[in-house]
Amino acid sequence: MTALAARNLTKVIGDRTIVDDVSFELQPGEVFGFLGPNGAGKTTTIRMLVGLIRPTAGSVEICGFDIRREFEKAMRCIGCIVENPDLYRFMTGRENLQHFSRMLGLDRSEIERVAELVNLDHRLDQRVGTYSLGMRQRLGIAQAMLGSPRVLILDEPSNGLDPAGIREIRELLRRLATERGLAVFVSSHLLGEVELMCDRVAIIHRGRILKDGPVKNLISNRRAMEFKVNDVTRALRVFEQSGARATPPASGDHAVLVAIEEDDAPPLVASLVREGIEVFHARPKIQTLEEMFIEVTGGETVD
């Protein structure tokens, strides 16, 4: 069953269309990346997914329940952090978790379970005001995991975390998806993060989804080998003779991009050497999401 489905979501405020006809689906066990620059409409979309904002048009279904018509049933299936992990700073971590588990009507043992999940059990009795951002992020995930939801929605989960913290969260989310079959929705403006964490990615820009597909496909379509040589002109002739499509480098550079698989590289290197061309290196080059992103958004900066 589809874990989460957004259909033709649109939000218009005044005469500005903030989110424009956005549709996507999440399957259980999948980590879905929602990628876009700041101000692209990511947070507005998330707020519509969790019922904080009423869409101008379109609908959201969570585990088969329409979020407007069956709000309570739909929200039982979901755990989320919208923007920052804002919890009650004047209460302890445990009191925060108790607060939310009371809203769900859960057992106390549930609190220990989620705290263990994010390795926070040792600091649970301190006030959240004394927590670091990383700890608050983990407490945020803990509260989102209360009541064993089927869908996890996290808005920029690595914001403000150090590299170790980012890695920790990445591994946790992957584990939740593969071991428990959770559908995880992660928004981000960091390409590297999405590339490492997600199975599928949608790219949103100015409120519209520009691309949607498995991360692997988006990348493998763009495989190439880079050859660094001393004589570019002669090398290009060699590539042409062997039938490989080569992209000449920018002037002054000696690296040529050739659209071939890694396995086809050794014969090409041999040909180059036979022609007396010096080969400094030959390495696989994968076009990163960043490059792809710049391509699809028309080169607008991503921070």
Partner 1 sequence: MLNLIENESLKLLRRRRFLIVVAILFVIMTLVSYSQYRQLRQGRNENWRAELQERIARYENRLRRGRMNESWSRSMRAEMRRLQFYLDRGINPEAPTAPLVVRTFANAAGFLLLPLLISVLGADIVSAENAEGTDKLLLTRPVRRWKILLSKLLTLWMFASITLLTGGALSWLVTAPVLPAGGWDAPMFNGFAFGGDQFHIESVRELPLWKDALIAYGLEWYALIAVGSIALLLSVIFKSSAASIGTMLASLIGGTILTRISPDWTAGKYLFVSALPLADYYTGQLPPYEGMTMAFCITLLGVWAAVAIGVAFVIYTRKDVFG
Chain residues binding partner 1 by CB under 8 A are: 43, 47, 50-54, 71-76, 78, 80, 82-84, 86-91, 95, 99-100, 102-105, 143
Task: Rank residues 145 and 258 by Cβ distance to partner 1 and give the closer one.
Answer: 145
Label residue 206 exposed, middle or buried (CB < 10 Å: 0-12, 13-18, 19+). Answer: middle
CB of 94: closest distance to partner 1 in angstroms?
A: 12
Task: Rank residues 18 and 215 by Cβ distance to partner 1 and give the closer one.
Answer: 18
Of 186, 104, 189, nearest to 148 by C-alpha is: 104
Task: Rank residues 186 and 289 by Cβ distance to partner 1 and give the closer one.
Answer: 186
CB of 79: closest distance to partner 1 in angstroms?
A: 9
CB of 193: closest distance to partner 1 in angstroms?
A: 21
Strand order through the sheet with 151-155: 78-81, 151-155, 183-188, 31-35, 200-205, 208-214
CB of 266: closest distance to partner 1 in angstroms?
A: 55
- The backbone region for 85, taken as left when phi is positive above 0, alpha when psi lies in -120 to 50, beta otherwise, is beta
CB of 249: closest distance to partner 1 in angstroms?
A: 45
Task: Rank residues 110 and 199 by Cβ distance to partner 1 and give the closer one.
Answer: 110
Task: Rank residues 86 and 278 by Cβ distance to partner 1 and give the closer one.
Answer: 86
Task: Rank residues 76 and 228 by Cβ distance to partner 1 and give the closer one.
Answer: 76
Task: Rank residues 32 and 100 by Cβ distance to partner 1 and give the closer one.
Answer: 100
CB of 128: closest distance to partner 1 in angstroms?
A: 10
Neighbours of 84 (CB within 10 A): 14
CB of 74: closest distance to partner 1 in angstroms?
A: 8
CB of 108: closest distance to partner 1 in angstroms?
A: 13
Task: Rank residues 147 and 165 by Cβ distance to partner 1 and give the closer one.
Answer: 147
Q: Pairing relation of β-strands 183-188 and 223-229?
A: unpaired
